[in-house]
Amino acid sequence: MKNIDPARRRGIRIRAGILCAVLGLGLGVVLNGAWDIEVADGDAWRTLAEKQRMRRLRVAPKRGTVYDRAGTALAISVEVPSISIDAVEVLRGIDTKTAPGRLEAVAARIAEALQMDATEVADKLRRGKRFAWLKRRVTAKEVDAVRELGDSNQRLPIHGLSVEGEGRRFYPHRELAAPLLGFVSPDGQGREGVELSLDEQLRGRVEEIRGLRDRAGRLIFSEGIQDDAALAGHDIFLSIDQSIQFIAERELDAALKTHEAKSGSIIVVDPRTGEVLAMASAPGFNPNDYNLADPSTLRNHGIGDVFEPGSTMKMFTMAAALSANSVKPDEPIYCEDGHMPIDNVVIHDTHVSKWLTPTQILQVSSNIGIAKIALGLGEEKLYQAFRRFGFGENSGLALSGVANGVLRPRSRSWVPVETAAAAFGQGVSVTNLQMAMAAAALANQGRLLEPLLISKVTDASGLVLSEATPQVRRQVVSPRVARMMAEMLSSVTEGEGTGIEAAIPGFRVAGKTATAQKIDPATGRYNDINYVTSFVGFVPAERPRIVVSVVIDEPSAGANSGGSVAAPVFRRVAELTLQYLGVRPDGTRAVKLTDVAEYAKVDDPAKAAHAVFDAKRAEREPNEAKPEADLRGRESVKVPSVEGLPVRSAMQTVFEKGLVPVIEGTGRLVRTEPAIGTRVAKGSKLVLVFEPSM
């Protein structure tokens, strides 16, 4: 610098100073920006960086399984492939402004692979979302086609398409118990039945997990699931028995076809616990293809339909009168020769009679006789009795769509004709479930139980979270009256009773028929065309094991009475169910009015009941076979060849052979116990073991 001209040296210094100043200013700007980023606006920038490098995923747990009482799966979740699309990744490197046709070309290739509309694919690409469902529940062929599109070895691979595992609800037994179970929509929400009512428990808890992602947005590391409840929903065990449900549905379907009926339902209950063993509703649907079903078939007629019950209400009217001592068991009632005016209405009897006892009134279903008993009881006591039996109130069943029925309130006095009509089931409406539970109260020493459908709830590890126990709602009538009613109702299925078609050889059946006229909506009056036929009863009458309530709506072919339409259905369902449960027939004889009177004279109803029924067993006819001998002498059949069949087909074949199937597992049948070809007694149980096909 000393040898440099002073003027030039001064210029260099000035230029160096200016450069240092500029560099210093630039450094100040950088430091200021760093201060803003790191300190002043640090929180905001850190949040933005976190969003860019982290990915949040909402993990939907596997939906819980619905089982029957024996642990057979009725509704399960399986994983099926679906295709998702990352539009940003698909269009990376494609300028849609300069080359608009490229987008349509890519969309066309994707649409061809998935058999979709190219316009729909193009619309999803234009939205530019990092995630969107392209096609759900695809076939294996479509999965292969998508993977081929993304193969890097081909000339123009398409990236951004992913094969995602997605849960789908599957019902292995197809139509079995479909209106009871309901179905699940593609968004994972339960619809109808158990799937809707217990949706929150079945779905489990959705958890959000965080993880690092690469430039394409793919998750490469996650923090993991902290809550085990996010892995799977709870499992539900129903009180339903799959075999009994199949029996009820098969007989109900046959009855609807035979009588060309509109709809129907059958409910089977264990009167000792209130457990619902079967809840059949027809017509039904296949929940695997619910979108193809008629909306009317989704309805559970057993709990959602209300109807005027007709003569089945006579059993509860009679029980109320006996409980109030307003009528004696052997008291003769004048029945007006089948014709009785009351107010501005004339009541008629189908079986014209002059004098009838209470038992005979039920046996021949006399409207006049029961109307007189109701008028003697009084409107207030009749109303309260119906309430005690559970009519006009919530049944307590934990399902959506359960109707309460209609029992006219006592805000005003009933005129005599209203009291008389209510006594034989007109002017009131009930559900089949209410009718079954009310009859179960008479079968269970007068105790009304809550219907029990959900036996227990467990988590994915099998830990029991809740377990139901029988709940007594109230004591409706005394055990003595309940025993008397069992005797009286046994006369309905014997001798000249209206329900002789419900009689089961070897068992005493207690029940009641009903043929209720329906009101024409156009006129508001009862018509002689449309009827609701029903039969409700329990068996064995002396020690009831099951209650079966059958309702057939609008039978149109041939006979249309409860005794000819519903009673035979009851017999077939009850007989097969008793065989399945292993209940053996006992000695029987016809009901006598003296038996009913016996209960009225003894203070201890339990002793009275056992004394009468033990006497009946001792009075068997000499040629009547004992149960053991009867079983040994039954016709034998060979176990049919059912290997490889699905559950429903195998059960149908076994039933046709006169055997009672017991189901284990799901899928295809792999073996039977006893083995195929073995000769067994007709009516025996046959264990069918199923395994999923590989």
Q: Which of 157-166, 439-448, 470-479, 561-570 has the lowest mean pLDDT?
A: 157-166
Q: What is the pLDDT of residues 92-129, one digit of tens each?
A: 767 666 566 788 888 888 888 888 888 888 888 888 88
- As a whole number of angstroms, the distance between CA 419 and CA 312 comes to 16
Tell me which DSSP letter residue 668 carries.
Answer: E
Q: Which two tokens stand for residue 600?
A: 């009225």
Q: Kind of pairing, strands 685-691 and 668-673? A: antiparallel
Among 427, 400, 432, CA closest to 416: 427
- As a whole number of angstroms, the distance between CA 332 and CA 431 comes to 33
Mean pLDDT of 314-343: 92
Average pLDDT of the residues of the chain: 83
Mean pLDDT of 142-156: 83
Q: Output the pLDDT for position 381.
A: 92
Answer whether 605's CB lies under 8 Å from 591's CB: no
- As a whole number of angstroms, the distance between CA 498 and CA 364 comes to 6
Domains of the chain, by residue range, sit at 6-54, 57-208+230-238, 242-631, 634-691
Q: What is the pLDDT of residues 494-548, one digit of tens each?
A: 988 999 999 999 999 999 999 998 888 878 788 888 899 999 999 999 999 999 9
Q: Output the pLDDT for position 149.
A: 85
The residue whose two tokens read 């009926």 is: 261
Query: Which residue in the list 77, 197, 263, 311 is annotated as catalytic?
Result: 311
Q: Output the pLDDT for position 549.
A: 97
Q: Output the pLDDT for position 606.
A: 40
Distance spanning both ends of the chain, measured CA to CA: 92
- As a whole number of angstroms, the distance between CA 688 and CA 239 comes to 20
- As a whole number of angstroms, the distance between CA 479 and CA 445 comes to 4
In 146-164, which positions are buried (b, 16+ CB within 10 angstroms) versus exposed (e)?
beebeeeeeeeebebbbbe
- As a whole number of angstroms, the distance between CA 492 and CA 360 comes to 8
Q: Kind of pairing, strands 66-67 and 235-238? A: parallel
Answer whether 526's CB lies under 8 Å from 520's CB: yes
How do the residues of the chain divide into helix, strand and coil, expressed in percent and rounded to 5?
40, 25, 35
pTM, entire model? 0.76
Q: How many angstroms separate the Cα of 288 from the Cα of each of 76, 77, 181, 193, 614? A: 11, 11, 12, 14, 52
- CATH assignment of 57-208+230-238? 3.90.1310.10
Residue 451, number of CB atoms within 10 A of its CB: 26
Q: Output the pLDDT for position 28.
A: 81
Q: How many angstroms separate the Cα of 292 from the Cα of each of 285, 286, 289, 637? A: 9, 9, 6, 40
Q: How many angstroms separate the Cα of 79 from the Cα of each of 229, 289, 462, 574, 664? A: 18, 17, 21, 39, 23
Among 202, 206, 204, 205, CA closest to 182: 202
Q: Output the pLDDT for position 159.
A: 83
- As a whole number of angstroms, the distance between CA 407 and CA 393 comes to 8
pLDDT at residue 637 is higher than 90? no
State the virtual CA torsion across 468, 473, 477, 478 in degrees, nearest 10: 60
Answer whether 421's CB lies under 8 Å from 398's CB: no
Q: What is the pLDDT of residues 346-379, one digit of tens each?
A: 998 888 888 999 999 999 999 999 999 999 999 9
Residue 108, number of CB atoms within 10 A of its CB: 14
Answer whether 180's CB lies under 8 Å from 300's CB: yes
Q: Output the pLDDT for position 97.
A: 62
Q: How many angstroms separate the Cα of 5 from the Cα of each of 15, 16, 17, 331? A: 15, 16, 18, 147
Q: Output the pLDDT for position 212.
A: 57
634-691: CATH architecture: 2-Layer Sandwich (3.30)
Answer whether 634's CB lies under 8 Å from 681's CB: yes
Residue with the larger pLDDT of the pair 93 and 307: 307
Tell me which DSSP letter residue 426 carries.
Answer: -
H/E element holding 323? helix 314-323
Is residue 311 annotated as a catalytic residue, yes or no? yes
The residues, ordered by sequence, that sit 6+ positions from 513 with a Cβ below 8 Å of its Cβ are 311, 312, 365, 492, 498, 499, 502, 533, 534, 535, 561, 562, 563, 566, 567
- As a whole number of angstroms, the distance between CA 100 and CA 264 comes to 60
- As a whole number of angstroms, the distance between CA 332 and CA 355 comes to 6
State which amino acid sits at residue 42: G
- As a whole number of angstroms, the distance between CA 503 and CA 501 comes to 6
pLDDT at residue 679 is higher than 70? yes
Omega before residue 661 within 30° of 0, cis: no
Q: Output the pLDDT for position 46.
A: 65
Angle (CA) 393-397-401 rounded to 5° is: 80
Residue with the larger pLDDT of the pair 326 and 648: 326
Distance of alpha carbon 220 from the chain centroid: 42
Quote the radius of gyration of the chain (alpha carbons, Å).
Answer: 36
Omega before residue 674 within 30° of 0, cis: yes
Q: How many CA atoms lie within 13 Å of 680's alpha carbon, on the beta-carbon side?
A: 21
Q: Has domain 242-631 been given CATH number 3.40.710.10?
A: yes
pLDDT at residue 151 is higher than 50? yes
